[in-house]
Amino acid sequence: MRGTQDRIADAITTFAGTMQFVYLHAAWFTVWITVNEGLFGHSAVWDPYPFGLLTMIVSLEAIFLSTFVMVSQNRQAVREKVRADLDFETNVRSEVWSARIGHALGVDPKQVEKDVQTLLAHNQAAMNGRAQSADEPTG
């Protein structure tokens, strides 16, 4: 169950990961620097070069954004652990059912395991860029 704080952290993190966030900041920095360089008159300047206030605001924003990202990542890690636990449980159930069905059908488990190892080796070789026929020995 997500609380209000979690929803806020997720919303901020989601927005911070968009190009709109980048465009907004680019526009904001452009306006800030343009005004504070005196292009609209010296009476409009509130943060003269080297833009100490802008630097502080951007630093604080970075601190908060990194915290929101970590909160969201922690929540994602919890979701992934639950998902992995469910996957493991499903795999165990499937293995037990397969073994019982195979036993009832008189299937040789050693031959099945040999076939599995051959297929896994072939798949690993294919992922590593070396095509290997199913007839080649896997060593």
Q: Domain residues of the chain, as ranges? A: 4-105, 108-139
Q: Between 1 and 33, whose confidence is greater?
A: 33
What does the pLDDT read at residue 5? Answer: 87
Contact predicate 104/125, CB 8 Å: no
Identity of the residue numbered 90 = T
pLDDT tens for each residue of 33-48: 999 999 999 999 999 9
CB atoms near residue 25 (< 10 Å):
13
pLDDT exceeds 70 at position 134 = no
Distance of alpha carbon 42 from alpha carbon 40, whole angstroms: 7
What does the pLDDT read at residue 9? Answer: 87
Identity of the residue numbered 4 = T
* CA 111 vs CA 73, 114, 121, 132: distances in Å: 43, 5, 15, 20
pLDDT exceeds 90 at position 61 = yes
